[in-house]
Amino acid sequence: DAQPLIPSGWSIVPDKEQLPNRVQGSFQWNPAQVKLYLSDQQRNCHELKKKLADKEVLPANVLDYLLANKHLIPEEWKGESVFFWGTVYRGAGGYPSVRCLGWDGGRWDWDWGWLDGDWGGRYPAALRASN
């Protein structure tokens, strides 16, 4: 239920611009209830956003919780940039952006990706795992 971090100069886009099935309300962290999702359309953000529209994407407040409780981050996430599509921001410059959690070789930190750019590589989305 917590408000996610809003970086200086950023804002959260209106609800109508958020993914419709994003996880909202209370969510108790349990790594067994989270999965990482990669799509064949991973290189094109607009196609990826369409693929994620029917998925339960986790919001950025989960990212913030994990950064405050680093011991809870799954070890297998090292080497990934895990994106939290449940909160879409308007970054500095007005570009739609999504924050991610990543390991920089020495510590966990957050970064972001512009939704108007091309994405190469492995950038999984954090989803609530279906029961």
At residue 130, the pLDDT reads: 75
- CA distances, 78 to each of 7, 16, 44, 72, 75 (Å): 24, 33, 23, 12, 6
| The predicted structure's pLDDT at residue 122 | 73
CB atoms within 10 A of CB 69: 10
CB 48 within 8 A of CB 42: yes
Q: Looking at residue 111, what is its pLDDT?
A: 93
Tens-digit pLDDT string for the chain (131 aa) = 688 999 999 999 999 999 999 999 888 899 999 999 988 766 667 778 888 999 999 999 999 999 999 999 999 999 889 999 999 999 888 889 999 999 988 899 999 988 876 666 678 999 999 75
CA-wise closest residue to 119 among 28, 49, 44, 61: 44
pLDDT of residue 44: 66
How much is the CA Rg of the chain, to the nearest whole Å? Answer: 14
Q: Which two tokens stand for residue 28?
A: 């108790």
In this prediction, residue 56 carries a pLDDT of: 96
Q: In the prediction, which pLDDT does 110 show?
A: 96
